[in-house]
Structure 1
Amino acid sequence: MQLHPHTSRRRTGRLAGLTAALAAVVGLSTLTGPGAHAAADNPYERGPAPTESSIEALRGPYAVSQTSVSRLAATGFGGGTIYYPTSTADGTFGAVAISPGFTALESSISWLGPRLASQGFVVFTIDTLTTVDQPGSRGDQLLAALDYLTQRSSVRGRIDSSRLGVMGHSMGGGGSLEAAKTRPSLKAAIPMTPWNLDKTWPELRTPTLIFGADADTIAPVATHAKPFYNTLPSSLDRTYIELNNATHFAPNTSNTTIAKYSISWLKRFIDKDTRYEQFLCPLPQRSLTIDEAQGNCPHTS
């Protein structure tokens, strides 16, 4: 039977439409299937695939802007500086607040601000209410700084308030443990050569990376960093890195070892970015900059 030309064209058009629809469905399933790019599976992934050199670099892939928060504008902490990725093209970012140590000012930990922010985080380096505040107070101030960041700051729209972390040096490091105890919803804690009278932390539920220093005479690792680490729950994602030939004040100047493992920890647990697992597990080996490392690998969360 011979088809009328108009009928033939209609059938051809319908077939073309069906083919296009099928291609669209196949394409969609390809984008969302197991072979899809990691970003499709992880909406928090930010930045290009990391390398050893990229996490050791002084600056990451993001241009960084900064804004000051005066002590008068702050509530519950002493003001500070917010560092953040300039571009909004990638959406929101996780955030971290960082406290200095006993008698120290924000300037003592300010190098971490642009270094971490350039890797895709909003970073708040803070001053404390007084330079002699104890760890419990510093923990409260870290949480107050995070609340300011997510609720009142000029960059609050750039932050994912469900993905927050804390860091701190010395008493600020002890404060980061206190903050994680108070607010278990925090995604990461990084105490650096921490000091605290409380030596046991079985209640923590936040993935925790602790830096100790082998030549620390102010917060010796035997009575501070190591007991803190050893008393964290064994089921918790936790790591202890002892810096080699380093003093209590190692976190006060630009330090590539602290930076690379802090970046990896924050990426792994604030961003859930498993591309950074390779730098944390297996544990780093003893080297010119690392005296020892302990931890649970592979990570579970």
Structure 2
Amino acid sequence: MGLLATVAALAGLSTILTGGADAAENPYQRGPAPTTSSIEAARGSYAVSQTTVSRVVVTGFGGGTIYYPTGTSDGTFGAVAIAPGYAAYQSSIAWLGPRLASQGFVVFTIDTLTTSDQPATRGDELLAALDYLTKSSSVRSRIDSSRLGVMGHSMGGGGTLEAAKDRPSLQAAIPLTPWDLDKTWPELQTPTLVVGADGDTIAPVSSNAEPFYQSLPSTLDRAYLKLDSATHFTPNLSNTTIAKYSISWLKRFIDNDTRYEQFLCPLPQASTTIEKYHGNCPHTA
């Protein structure tokens, strides 16, 4: 019995040292303990598969591409729908699909019904895409429908805010260089990371990203990342800074994974890629 007790004690110590105890406390935690290198890498620890969804088989949006972790041993994953901007297609935000999926998410980059759809319509399309993803898609069994988020670029960024307003149960929202005629969002209940660009002349931060962020409730987990030496179209190309903080935000709030809090609090400092970063720390959710 003494030997068995010793083995059991060592096993318990091993669990603590390897983070297994944290995983037991948080059933949504996925993937290895993060490092700066792991969240800045072009790919995470999960192999990724993808499937195309034709617009003719869906309702309420224009189809898209689903990227998802190939293996099933870790159970279900949180999911994110991402919308493009005005006059753009899913190809403009496609780089985010495998990058986020390889970190342990199911990601749906979508096309809109028309390329001129306005933010409110894009918000509806993001929600329709999430509903398809969780109820009808071929990967629905891989998704935890209680852990969903939205992202979008430009008018898709405005659509991200619109979707979060219409569905408060969403766990995370990330508008990228967003544009919307509605400048105030005091009703949002979804943790929101607003990403702006210092050189944006199409959706200037002074009349879009900054007032969007400032209007969010002060009690909400919120942040504003202003990219340095960037333009309105920076989110259309692979970008390490956008990826790093998007991954951290999604992990922190969709997966409730506090291992990623270290990248968000203390607040990131100004650098060659960050002009400024505002937010609340520590996070409350």
Classify the TM-score, shorter chain. Answer: over 0.9
Tell me, in whole angstroms, the C-alpha distance in 2 between the residues paired with 1:95 and 1:32.
28
1:95 aligns with 2:79: yes
Cα deviations by residue, 1:112-139 (Å, 9 ceiling, x for unpaired): 0000000000000000000000000000
Tell me, in whole angstroms, the C-alpha distance in 2 between the residues paired with 1:205 and 1:26.
43
TM-score w.r.t. length of structure 1 = 0.90
Q: Which residue of 2 aligns with 1:4?
A: none
1:157 aligns with 2:127: no
Tell me, in whole angstroms, the C-alpha distance in 2 between the residues paired with 1:171 and 1:219.
9
Offset of 1:234 from its aligned partner? 0.1
Paired residues of 1:281 and 1:297 also in contact (CA < 8 A):
yes
Offset of 1:23 from its aligned partner? 8.7
1:279 aligns with 2:260: no
Identical-pair percentage:
74
TM-score w.r.t. length of structure 2 = 0.95
Offset of 1:76 from its aligned partner? 0.3
Tell me, in whole angstroms, the C-alpha distance in 2 between the residues paired with 1:284 and 1:26.
39
AA partner of residue 194 (structure 1): P
For residue 237 of structure 1, the aligned residue among 218, 221, 232 is 221
How is 1:102-251 mapped onto 2 (pairs within 5 angstroms)?
A: 102-251=86-235
Tell me, in whole angstroms, the C-alpha distance in 1 between the residues paired with 2:257 and 2:136.
28
1:39 aligns with 2:28: no
Tell me, in whole angstroms, the C-alpha distance in 2 between the residues paired with 1:137 and 1:249.
21
Tell me, in whole angstroms, the C-alpha distance in 1 between the residues paired with 2:79 and 2:44.
16
Q: Which runs of 5+ in 1 are unaligned?
A: 1-15
1:59 aligns with 2:21: no
Offset of 1:37 from its aligned partner? 1.9
Q: Which residue of 1 aligns with 2:70?
A: 86
Q: Secondary structure at the match of 1:216?
A: coil
Paired residues of 1:176 and 1:191 also in contact (CA < 8 A):
yes
Paired residues of 1:32 and 1:40 also in contact (CA < 8 A):
no
Offset of 1:233 from its aligned partner? 0.2
Q: Which runs of 5+ in 2 are unaligned?
A: none
Q: Secondary structure at the match of 1:145?
A: helix
Cα deviations by residue, 1:247-284 (Å, 9 ceiling, x for unpaired): 00010000000000000000000000000000011111
Tell me, in whole angstroms, the C-alpha distance in 1 between the residues paired with 2:70 and 2:13.
33
AA partner of residue 164 (structure 1): L
AA partner of residue 92 (structure 2): S
Determine which structure has more spread, i.e. the larger CA radius of gyration. 1
Mark the CA change 1:193 to 1:275 in structure 2 (over 3 Å): closer, same or farther: same
Tell me, in whole angstroms, the C-alpha distance in 1 between the residues paired with 2:20 and 2:232.
45
Offset of 1:74 from its aligned partner? 1.3
Tell me, in whole angstroms, the C-alpha distance in 2 between the residues paired with 1:32 and 1:215.
48
Tell me, in whole angstroms, the C-alpha distance in 2 between the residues paired with 1:83 and 1:50.
21
Tell me, in whole angstroms, the C-alpha distance in 2 between the residues paired with 1:164 and 1:36.
24
Tell me, in whole angstroms, the C-alpha distance in 1 between the residues paired with 2:164 and 2:14.
37
Q: Which residue of 1 aligns with 2:59?
A: 75
Offset of 1:27 from its aligned partner? 9.4
AA partner of residue 81 (structure 2): A
Cα deviations by residue, 1:207-226 (Å, 9 ceiling, x for unpaired): 00000000100000000000
Paired residues of 1:30 and 1:36 also in contact (CA < 8 A):
no
Q: Secondary structure at the match of 1:72?
A: helix
Paired residues of 1:212 and 1:225 also in contact (CA < 8 A):
yes
AA partner of residue 179 (structure 1): A
For residue 272 of structure 2, the aligned residue among 288, 293, 299 is 288
Tell me, in whole angstroms, the C-alpha distance in 2 between the residues paired with 1:41 and 1:54.
23
Tell me, in whole angstroms, the C-alpha distance in 2 between the residues paired with 1:57 and 1:238.
25
Q: Secondary structure at the match of 1:180?
A: helix
Tell me, in whole angstroms, the C-alpha distance in 1 between the residues paired with 2:8 and 2:89.
57
Query: What value does the CA root-mean-square deviation take over the aligned residues?
Result: 2.0
AA partner of residue 196 (structure 1): D
Equivalenced residue count is: 284
Offset of 1:32 from its aligned partner? 9.9
